[in-house]
Amino acid sequence: MAINLVLMGLPGAGKGTQAQKIEANYSMLHISTGDIFRNAIQNQTEMGKQAQKYIDKGELVPDEVTDGIVADRLNQKDIYNNGFMLDGYPRNLEQAKALQKLLTDTNRHLDAVINIDVDPDILVKRLSARYICKKCGATYNKISNPTKKAGVCDFCGSEEFYQRDDDKPETVKNRLDVNIKMNTPLIDFYKEQNILYNINGDQDIDQVFKEIIQVLDNLSN
175 near ligand AMP, judged by CB under 6 A: yes
37 near ligand AMP, judged by CB under 6 A: yes
* CA–CA distance, 221 with 204 (Å, rounded to integer): 26
Strands (E), 49-158: 83-87, 112-117, 130-133, 139-141
108 noted as active-site residue: no
Strands (E), 88-181: 112-117, 130-133, 139-141, 161-162
123 near ligand AMP, judged by CB under 6 A: no
| Catalytic, out of 126, 164, 168, 181 | 164
Q: Tell me, residue by residue from 137 to 166, as one string, x for binding to ligand AMP by CB under 6 A and - for no binding.
A: -----------------------------x
The answer to whether 130 is annotated as binding is yes
User: Could you say which DSSP state residue 74 is in?
Assistant: H
133: buried, middle or exposed (CB in 10 Å: 19+, 13-18, 0-12)? buried
**Residue least distant from ligand AMP (Cβ):** 34
* CA–CA distance, 161 with 137 (Å, rounded to integer): 9
Is there a contact between 113 and 5 (Cβ–Cβ < 8 Å)?
yes
126 noted as active-site residue: no
Q: Which uninterrupted H or E stretch holds 206?
A: helix 205-220
The answer to whether 164 is annotated as binding is yes
125 noted as active-site residue: no
Q: Helix (H, G, I), strand (E, B), or coil: what is residue 189?
A: helix
Residues that bind ligand ADP (CB under 6 A): 9, 11-17, 126, 129-130, 139-141, 144-145, 201, 203, 205, 208
Contacts to ligand AMP by CB under 6 A: 11, 33-34, 37, 54-55, 58-61, 66, 88-89, 91, 95, 166, 175
Can you say which residues are annotated as belonging to the binding site for ATP? 12-17, 130, 139-140, 203
Active-site residues, by number, are 15, 91, 130, 164, 175
Can you say which residues are annotated as belonging to the binding site? 12-17, 33, 38, 59-61, 88-91, 95, 130, 133, 136, 139-140, 153, 156, 164, 175, 203
